[in-house]
Amino acid sequence: MEAQALEHERRLEQSCGAEALKHAIAAAELYMQAAAKAKAPADRSRLSRKCAELIGLGERLKANARNAAAASRLPVPESTRILTTAEKTIILRASRLHGNIFPPWDSDPDPKSFTDLGVDGDAYIDPSEFSLSPEQEVIFDGWKRPSELVPRGDDRLEESQDPDHFMIARNEIDLAQDLATDCSVVASLCAAARHFSSTKGSLLSTLIYPFDHEALRPKVSKNGKYIFRMNFNGSWRHVVIDDRLPATTTDRTLYVVDKRNPSLLWPALIEKAYLKIRGGYDFPGSNSGTDLHVLTGWIPEQIFLQSDDIELDQTWTRIKKAYDEWHAILTLGTGNIQPEEEKALGLVREHDYAVLDLKREGESRLLLIKNPWCDSMVWTGVGSSATLKVHTVGETPDNTSNKFWMAFEDVLQHFDSLYVNWNPALFAHRQDHHFVWEVPEPIEELVFTKNPQYSILSPSGSPAWVLLNRHWQDGELDILRERKAQKDHQATTSTLAHVSKQLGFMSLSIFATSPPGTRVPLPESQRCLVQGPYVDSPNTLLRYNPTPNVPQTLVIAQGELPLPKYSFSLSFFSSEPLTISPAPPALPHTQTITGSWTRRTAGGSAVHPTYSLNPQYSLTIPRPTALSLLLSTPHRDLPVHISILFNSGNKRQISVTGRDILASSSEYQRGCTYLSLPQIDCGTYTIVLSTFEPGQLSDFSLTISSFLQSIKIEPVPSDAAGKLRTDLPLATFTGGNKKLRAPLSIARLVRLHAVARSSPSSKATLRLSLELGIGPHKSVLAVSGDGEFADASLGLRTDEIDVDPGAVSRSGGGKGLWVVLEQMGGEGGGGGGGVQVEVLSDGIISLGAWQSCDDE
């Protein structure tokens, strides 16, 4: 039975509407039967939980269908994916915000919630605190019920004594913002007004409770309690408030008002509920796309109007069609307009506006735009690119309601962003995933090793939309308030836009990978099909057309997110069911090591004589495998490089020629680089990590991936590690000399080798050796480069040898131990800079002066 239930769950994820409900009910019944027959208590408990989950999902699907039928609109797709325990924990933890708890929505509230009075017969009082700004505190006059807010002697008083009057708009809705800093909220309410009051299906019916479904308007709660169903932090949630609003000692208001329906209550209640989840009436700012997503659940898209990639005609056609079909809500946002431009244009900087209508008038494409401020300027038309004067097209500007017509070309010129909230009912399928992301350390910010990635498989090429939502948390509000306070003290240099950017940026991208659907190590390593913009909003949307039946990889990226840990939700919308899972790595076994280029180890590229000082690692491959290496740093402009060299006996690589290199990454990429080999044979190799110039200091992280778990990687110690360094005087070839030698004396058995370097400009080709004796009976104990002459600017190194003082005295004609430097061609002195030679040993040695030995 459990296997049958699992099959119904699988079909449930690929179904929608009535079909999904059928599979949910079937799976729940099978789990119920399996639980009844289970013998182990743990199995009974597990199966009962699964049954309860599916019953709850079934109830939500039925409610969704009822609401859609009642409102005569398309059903909104419900995610039918059963969440893991970890995901359920994420959703529950995200319920706590600003000292309040907003539980996930499980069912509509009991009607008694709005009629029951307290034990003393008192109306409901929400104990939550609503913070006010210092400016608001000055005029704050307490929290008052709606009837108390109607001024005495007002001719509306008698009418307002009818409770229903507070929910009835007798005139066209005309909302306005006054002293609250929530233009995005009021602009959202203005733009969505036609969907709130429409007979085509009021969105208020699933937003505010209690609600009169026959009259299609909210009902007055008898006990002053209202419950809102709002979409944030990965779930629809309960938001409970009372009907008290912040009164003032002046004729200004701290809540949204309707200028044509002064007693209309529900807009101010929606505003209050929203501000409760955002921290209070000292709202530091948002954008209307985000606000509408919370209020309606409609999919937010931010279109950057100043982008070079925007296609004017295509954008107009897309939004006009959706708006006419009631599938889109539109709002606009300005950027940091200069004060002198504000006055000339009649536009407010960093301000959100509502779009109330779209139309064509002759050759002009026009938007009816509303400034939500209570008393404010409207666009003057200065600099208009319209073919007709926009103030005489259709209607003149309405300064009393702050409405004006603007040509679409002028919108693109004067506004920064167009926010479009799309009806999710445009799609048949939805799938939600939730995850926690610990923001990578700076050393891994430029690569994708720690980024969430998902494999997406679509059976068709029909469009798929992916919405990323970052869950709000208290730490973000603290940052916004701190930055806003700084802005208030530095008004000339800081803006609200600057404040919002302190919360960091997010982006979504789709990649074609090899193998398909596997993880992407860094942006340049795989082919990017769709690159989403980095946005400073808690939501970002990616639209793309999948390749049928080929898994593709979704990558979540971030920049400058200030907190160490976040929780997120991903919602996938599609016409066909998608198969989604965390993207697996292309190579399953991974090791990560960290290190640094320091003053001693930043040797630069192979053209520098100090190349051998760079960090080196011995890599042992027990059998052939694919291999990848990913090098990352915290510095975006630091050029870095990886080389894999054929090993030379577990010793440090001193110089590099073409024949030494097995493979290398692209030439010195900034910040990070990647090297991938489809196969590497068994053996031991040397990895060299370098910066372009010597002395470029940084930490780094190196990630090695393969099919093998038994790969061994170890740091190669520097030549000087644990050794005594003894320098010879600078060697110069003068008077045509081609060969120099210097005596080396030891008192006991030592292990040693010699190293030589010339200046980078040297043209000399040299050979370095350690010799026992002189003349015809000498013997060569160690020599650089297998006896071949080589460019000393890249460094020369002899093998390590063990030398016994007794053997020195007995061999080579008893003529001692010598360091010998020979030149073939080049200018005297090794290019004018001389040659630096040093001997590294595990015991005390002494060295004499150079002497010519050309006559030997």
Active site residues: 183, 351, 371
The three-state secondary structure class of 164 is helix
Please report, as a single letter, which amino acid is at residue 279: G
Instruction: Cite the beta strand spans of 799-844 per DSSP E.
Output: 801-803, 817-824, 835-841
3-state secondary structure of 522: coil
Q: Provide the 10 A C-beta neighbour count for residue 848.
A: 15
Listed in sequence order, the residues at least 6 apart from 675 whose beta carbon sits closer than 8 Å to its beta carbon are: 628, 629, 630, 642, 644, 663, 664, 665
Report strand pairing: 417-422 vs 403-407.
unpaired
Measured between alpha carbons, how far is 633 from 528 in angstroms, rounded to an integer?
22
- As to burial, measured by CB atoms within 10 angstroms (0-12 exposed, 13-18 middle, 19+ buried), residue 797 is buried
- Whole-angstrom distance, CA of residue 77 vs CA of residue 56: 16
Rounded to whole angstroms, the Cα distance separating 287 from 294 reads 11
Sort 254 into a burial class: Cβ within 10 Å, 0-12 / 13-18 / 19+.
Answer: buried
Q: With contact defined as beta carbons under 8 Å apart, do 463 and 545 qualify?
A: yes
Dist. CA 329–CA 451, nearest whole Å: 32
Alpha helices in 370-515 (DSSP H): 408-414, 474-489, 496-500
Q: How far, in Å, CA of 570 to CA of 451, rounded?
A: 14
Q: Which residue has the tokens 């004018």?
A: 832
- The separation between the first and the last C-alpha atoms of the chain, rounded to the nearest angstrom, is 95
- The Cα–Cα gap between 746 and 842 comes to 11
Q: How far apart are CA 236 and CA 228, in angstroms?
A: 10
Q: Cα-atom radius of gyration of the chain, to the nearest Å? A: 37
Q: Which residues contact 85 (CB under 8 A, 6 or more apart)?
A: none
The CA–CA distances, whole Å, from 730 to 409, 611, 824 equal: 73, 20, 18
Structure tokens at 373: 């401020």
Instruction: Give all strands (DSSP E) within 720-760, no chain letters.
Output: 724-727, 739-746, 750-758
